[in-house]
């Protein structure tokens, strides 16, 4: 498995990792995500809407994220790693979105990767188009990490902490080197008490920051991921051992209640099949928890030993 094309790692980082991470964050946390991004909330998030738009030349375009708000307006979120020189693309998206849904559309563009400036108004003469820009580089990264560290000191972990930690490398850190910021982020991840949550957050962090890391920084991240992966597999094995013990105890109880040799042999065979089935169900139980945390199918497969096909079937149900 690879990190963004590098060998020897543990988690796969796809080319569109930022899109996947951002969409998952916004979908999973709705209002919390908006707060963490610094977006003023005019209404509560009601639900996520499809992001496919049918265009007049029979192509399908995809928006980054579309939310229906409780006041029946539409919030269109776009995530950009480069400055959008003009707003024509977003204008066309919003015009088609409005045509399909017939609701008022508010567009917010979130800029990462150090972008400091971008247009917010497009005057086409007959109409004035506006977006709201959010520049992560303007966020005080030191203050954000200090708040997260304080929460960890107090045994608190909030949805905003997860989101802000995933974006921390894109914020402003005056007086600190990239290496120092990276170590501080990874130290915060290591302190998250729940193992599944810790694994999830580091995957989100990598999804947002993988392309910004240099070779030496990658080595440090890979070392942390190896430890995380070992802890995950150990936790899975521990749970399966518990399941084995529970099933063996049930088998022994059934044998004790058997009345004859033939019946005992039948019970033995039946319970052995039950143990095997129970162990398999235990792996599925662990896989369901990992999938609920948003973990990659390939990672779930490697940790649990289930085939990717089995895991896809779990996702389908």
Least confident range of 24-33, 72-81, 279-288 = 24-33
Q: Which residues have a Cβ under 8 Å from the Cβ of 102 and sit 6 or more positions away? A: none
Structural contact between residues 278 and 247, judged by C-beta atoms closer than 8 angstroms: yes
Q: Which of 110, 138, 166 is the last residue of a domain?
A: 138
Domain range enclosing 255:
230-316
Assigned token pair, 42? 């005019």
Q: Which of 87, 107, 138 is the last residue of a domain?
A: 138
* More confident of the two residues 204 and 247: 204
Q: Tell me, yes or no, whether 22 lies in a domain.
A: no
Burial of 1 (0-12, 13-18, 19+ CB in 10 A): middle
Q: Which of 176, 199, 225 is the last residue of a domain?
A: 225
Q: pLDDT band at residue 241, thresholds of 50, 70 and 90?
A: confident
Distances from the Cα of 71 to the Cα of 25, 75, 160, 176, 265, angstroms:
22, 11, 23, 43, 66
Based on the structure, what is the number of domains in the chain? 3
pLDDT at 69 over 50: yes
pTM here is: 0.60
What pLDDT score was predicted for residue 58? 35
Least confident range of 62-76, 103-117, 176-190 = 62-76
Least confident range of 4-8, 239-243, 313-317 = 4-8
Mean pLDDT for 240-259 is 67
pLDDT at 233 over 50: yes
Cα(180)–Cα(131) distance, rounded to whole angstroms? 34
pLDDT at 209 over 80: no
273 and 204 share one domain: no
Range with top average pLDDT, 118-132, 153-167, 267-281: 118-132
What pLDDT score was predicted for residue 114? 87
Q: For the chain, what is the total number of helices (H) and then of strands (E)? A: 11, 11
């Amino acid at each position: 498995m690879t990190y963004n094309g590098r060998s020897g790692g543990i988690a796969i980082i796809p080319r569109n990792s930022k899109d996947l991470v951002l969409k998952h964050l916004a979908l999973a946390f709705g209002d919390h995500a908006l707060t963490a991004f610094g977006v003023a909330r005019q209404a509560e998030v009601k639900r996520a809407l499809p992001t496919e738009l049918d265009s007049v030349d029979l192509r399908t375009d995809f928006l980054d994220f579309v939310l229906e708000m409780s006041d029946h307006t539409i919030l269109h979120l776009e995530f950009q790693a480069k400055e959008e020189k003009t707003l024509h693309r977003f204008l066309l998206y919003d015009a088609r979105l409005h045509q399909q849904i017939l609701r008022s559309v508010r567009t917010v563009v979130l800029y990462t990767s150090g972008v400091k400036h971008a247009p917010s108004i497009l005057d086409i003469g007959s109409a004035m188009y506006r977006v709201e820009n959010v520049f992560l580089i303007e966020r005080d990264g030191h203050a954000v990490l200090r708040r997260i560290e304080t929460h960890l000191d107090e045994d608190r972990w909030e949805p905003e902490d997860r989101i802000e930690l995933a974006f921390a490398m894109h914020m402003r850190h005056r007086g600190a080197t990239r290496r120092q910021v990276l170590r501080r982020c990874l130290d915060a991840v290591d302190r998250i008490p729940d193992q599944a949550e810790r694994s999830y957050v580091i995957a989100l962090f990598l999804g947002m920051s993988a392309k910004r890391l240099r070779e030496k920084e990658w080595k440090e991240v890979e070392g942390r991921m190896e430890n995380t992966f070992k802890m995950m597999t150990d936790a899975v094995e521990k749970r399966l051992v518990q399941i084995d013990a529970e099933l063996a105890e049930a088998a022994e109880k059934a044998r004790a209640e058997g009345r004859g040799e033939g019946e005992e042999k039948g019970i033995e065979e039946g319970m052995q099949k039950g143990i095997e089935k129970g162990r398999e169900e235990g792996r599925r139980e662990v896989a369901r928890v990992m999938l609920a945390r948003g973990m990659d199918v390939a990672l779930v497969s490697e940790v649990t030993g289930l085939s990717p096909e089995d895991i896809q079937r779990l996702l389908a149900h």
